[in-house]
Each structure stands twice: as structure tokens, then as C-alpha cells.
Amino acid sequence: MPLKIDGADRYVLVNRGWIAATATRASLPPIVTPEKTLDITGLATVPGRRFLELSPQTTEGNVWQNLTIERYRAHFPILVQPIVIEQQNDVDDHLVREWNPPDLGADKHYAYAFQWFVMAAAILVIYLALNVRKTA
């Protein structure tokens, strides 16, 4: 959502949070939008540029498949800053703000390493079973 910066002719996009979707994408869930001046606290981020799009039709009404600043500027003639604020403070709008970073821990890598070592051991056992001959 665009937020006008007080005292300037500029806007910044604010990711206000999440809300449960309705049964169909044709109707959006009701979202409370404050009418008064707000102080927003959050983390400034640059929107990602690498994402999968399954169709060239990326904007359809109020539902957009992915957000890019360039696409937003093309649709709305306002001066938007090249960042998005992930809102952290609560303004009583019933949106969920859980900005968990992706899990980049090493546990996944240990599991892959274990899988490949087991595969190598299985191949070694099969090779030895098929190629070692008994001499009698």
C-alpha cells in the first residue's frame, strides 16, 4: 500500500501484513485502512527481482502475482521510493505481521550430505556383491 511521506510529494510502499484469503481470488477479504495520519515503524527492504511468473498476465485487477517497483510505477502515476517498508508496529488493522527470515540453517545440508553418503555406500556394496568372485 502506498504511504504518502508527510511534508513531501513522495510515497513509499508499505507491506502492512497478511490476512486470510477468501474462497476465491475474485473477491478480496475486508481490510481495515486507517484514515488518520500514522507513524509506521518497520524494516526497509528492496523487493526481490528473481521470482517465477507462470503467465505474462502478472496484474489482474487488485491481485498482482509479484511486486516490482517498475511495474507499480507503470500502473500508478505517483513518485514511489525504490524500497518497501515491512511494517512492524500494530495499528489495530487485524493484519498479521510475521516477517520470519527464510531458514538458511545447515541442517538441510547435513541431511543432503547424509543422503549422498548412504547412496555411495549402497553403490559400493552392490558393486562388491556383483563383482567379487569366490575362488574355489
Residue 36 has pLDDT above 60, yes or no: yes
Residue 9 has pLDDT above 80, yes or no: yes
Convert 59-89 to b/e letters by CB count within 10 Å (16 or more is b): eeeeeeeeeebeebeeeeeeebbeebbebee
d(CA 56, CA 47): 19
pLDDT tens-digit series, residues 43-96: 898 887 767 777 766 666 677 777 888 888 888 889 999 999 999 888 878 788
pLDDT tens-digit series, residues 11-31: 999 988 888 888 877 777 888
- Residue 69: CA atoms inside 13 Å, Cβ hemisphere, count? 16
pLDDT of the residue at 8: 86
More confident residue, 114 or 29: 114
Q: What is the pTM of this model?
A: 0.64
Cell of 22: 477468501
What backbone phi and psi angles, to 5 degrees, belong to 127? -60, -50
Q: Where do the structural domains in the chain lie, given as residue ranges?
A: 2-100
